[in-house]
Structure 1
Amino acid sequence: MNANEAATETISVIIVDDEKFVRGALRTYLSQAWDISVVAEGENGADAVRLAHEVHPDVILIDIQMPVMDGIAAIRQIVVELPEIRILVVTGHISDIYLKAALIAGASGYVVKDAEPERIVTAVREVHAGDCPIDPAVTHVLVDDIRKTLPESRKPAAIELSDREADVLKLLCDGQSNSEIASALYLSESTVKYHLVRLGRKFSARDRLQLVIIALRTGVVK
């Protein structure tokens, strides 16, 4: 650990999943990160609510379908009672119904259980930093659902974009991650993040998910 790492605040995390094996796997993934500490585990939504009040973690990793209280109900309650806690859904369900329900309830991000361990670790960091990480596989589901509800002919909003910004935005709406966008456009990830920040300001989007939704609904990306 270098001096910068030592000076960085550790991200406290609670893992909530009704499968012991999954909890163990997630704990293993996160324990390898120098800046993340798993402080508690639960097996249902009621545990999530109780532990949130007892431990006050920075981030809660939570599944959706669980006994006693499901993840959606738990997210809804935690967001109201402890809005400072960020919630990352880690689930095997990637349907648009579950995705939209989780985001409406107040989830800060959504990744699938079979994502690469590094992706889950990165998602925890992004959620803690105020970003809204959405797994590319899930983004495709959401984007397809949005496109189905849009009229065939849309007049693009009058938002001026550079060619590079347009390329980045198109790939983002295709469900590409920052690293995939960087690779496709031969850019560094820091440059991709710079363009996303500028795009967020131009579209008045609070996060990358809202940016995708606005870009599609305004016809800037089809």
Structure 2
Amino acid sequence: MMPIRLAIVDDHKLFRQGIINLLKTYPHFDMIIEAESCQQLLEALVIQQPDIILMDIEMPDIDGMEGCKQILALYPQMKIIALSMHTADNFIFHMMKLGARSYLHKDIDQDSLREAIEEVHAKGFYFNEKIAEAMLRGVQSRSLQKPYLNGNTLTPREKEILTFICKGMTNSEIAAKLFISIRTVEGHRQHLLDKTGTTNSVSLAVFAIKSGLLSADEVGGHF
């Protein structure tokens, strides 16, 4: 049997090396490309193409969603498996909609990762319960928004409210400061959670820091 040729793209070297070391234990896997960015991966693909790409979503230059789009435009036959810490439905739904063949959480165990790779190689896709549920909700929902991995696509009002949330202000305090209703603030807060794929104020604060909207010192001891 010909080995399954793999590529991995992730900006965290320790994670890349961990995955590579795990997959080395299987003789039918051959990791032919290791890249720290989508741009580096695109350059490597000019020389050789793997059967499957393991792709992180949150990367500094080109994020995984845009990377998936660019790669499949050039290599339509390429099979991409998303590997991400994001588990919100909108991340899964939109990544699969772009053409990914599977979506796995980064805490996946070794056997499940092997199974997913083998299934994608043999059948062209791998669906677990989480993916199936996210796809169903995505099809049924009219409000499942495309996720954003940086602050560039937030509206000025959303950025303003995000800043206040990260500074520990309550909905009523934000409403009073901006002369809007508490319900409007609640709506903006939910919108921010949906857009960023986060689940609470703490993860919103992490998003704000990683996006460069706020510094760690500005968030400080509010969380």
Same fold (TM over 0.5): yes
1:126-165 paired onto structure 2 within 5 Å: 126-146=119-139
1:183-202 paired onto structure 2 within 5 Å: none
- Contact 2:10 / 2:56 at 8 angstroms: preserved in 1? yes
- Contact 1:14 / 1:40 at 8 angstroms: preserved in 2? yes
* Aligned residue number for residue 51 of structure 1: 44
- Contact 1:48 / 1:74 at 8 angstroms: preserved in 2? no
* Aligned residue number for residue 67 of structure 1: 60
Q: Deviations over 1:85-119 (max 9, x none)?
A: 21111111111221122112211111111111111
* Aligned residue number for residue 16 of structure 2: 23
- Local SS of the residue matching 2:123: coil
Evaluate the alpha carbon distance shift between residue 146 and residue 101 of structure 1 in structure 2; reply closer, same or farther with a 3 A threshold.
closer
- Contact 2:79 / 2:124 at 8 angstroms: preserved in 1? no
* Aligned residue number for residue 91 of structure 1: 84
- Local SS of the residue matching 2:46: helix
Evaluate the alpha carbon distance shift between residue 76 and residue 118 of structure 1 in structure 2; reply closer, same or farther with a 3 A threshold.
same
Equivalent-residue separation in structure 2 for 1:49 and 1:109 (angstroms): 20
Shift of 1:58: 0.7
- Contact 1:94 / 1:138 at 8 angstroms: preserved in 2? no
One-letter amino acid matched to 1:42: A
* Aligned residue number for residue 116 of structure 1: 109
Answer with 1 or 2: which has the greater Rg.
2
Equivalent-residue separation in structure 2 for 1:106 and 1:147 (angstroms): 19
Q: What is the aligned counterpart of 1:76 among 57, 61, 69?
A: 69
Equivalent-residue separation in structure 1 for 2:62 and 2:54 (angstroms): 15
Evaluate the alpha carbon distance shift between residue 91 and residue 135 of structure 1 in structure 2; reply closer, same or farther with a 3 A threshold.
farther
Equivalent-residue separation in structure 1 for 2:107 and 2:22 (angstroms): 12
Aligned length: 142
One-letter amino acid matched to 2:90: I
Ranges in structure 2 where 5+ consecutive residues have no aligned partner: 143-223
- Contact 1:29 / 1:121 at 8 angstroms: preserved in 2? no
- Normalising by structure 1, we get a TM-score of 0.59
Kindly report the root-mean-square deviation, in angstroms, between the aligned alpha carbons of the 2 structures: 1.7
Shift of 1:146: 4.6
Equivalent-residue separation in structure 2 for 1:23 and 1:136 (angstroms): 26
- Contact 2:53 / 2:81 at 8 angstroms: preserved in 1? yes
Evaluate the alpha carbon distance shift between residue 126 and residue 101 of structure 1 in structure 2; reply closer, same or farther with a 3 A threshold.
same
Equivalent-residue separation in structure 2 for 1:35 and 1:61 (angstroms): 16
Evaluate the alpha carbon distance shift between residue 35 and residue 136 of structure 1 in structure 2; reply closer, same or farther with a 3 A threshold.
same
One-letter amino acid matched to 2:2: E
Equivalent-residue separation in structure 1 for 2:131 and 2:92 (angstroms): 8
Q: What is the aligned counterpart of 1:37 among 25, 30, 39?
A: 30
- Local SS of the residue matching 1:54: coil
